């Protein structure tokens, strides 16, 4: 699957006013921390998906597939 680590601005989902549950798991505000967090999530079965409502990428925790 495609992963968008190099586009940290995309992966650091800033939910804004979007109510989509994809944004329930934002990364840390610090890009350094967010990168580690993203690596850790990808290692532990998290996936990323583009929000159908706002177009930003959000995270899907293991076991939460299909909630978007
Ligand atoms: Zn959204």
Q: What pLDDT, in 10s, does the model give residues 24-64?
A: 998 888 999 999 999 999 999 999 999 999 998 899 999 88
End-to-end Cα separation, the chain, in angstroms: 18
- According to DSSP, residue 47 is labeled E
3-state secondary structure of 60: strand
- Residue 20 near residue 54 (C-beta atoms within 8 A): yes
- Residue 57 near residue 50 (C-beta atoms within 8 A): yes
pTM beyond cutoff 0.75: no
* Rounded distance from Cα 16 to ligand 1 centre (Å): 8
* Rounded distance from Cα 38 to ligand 1 centre (Å): 18
* Rounded distance from Cα 24 to ligand 1 centre (Å): 10
């Amino acid at each position: 699957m495609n992963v968008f680590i190099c586009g940290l601005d995309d992966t650091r989902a800033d939910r804004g006013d979007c109510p989509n549950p994809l944004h329930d798991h934002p990364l840390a505000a610090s890009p350094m921390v967010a990168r580690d967090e993203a690596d850790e999530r990808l290692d532990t079965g998290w996936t990323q998906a583009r929000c159908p409502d706002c177009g930003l990428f959000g995270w899907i925790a293991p076991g939460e597939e299909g909630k978007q």
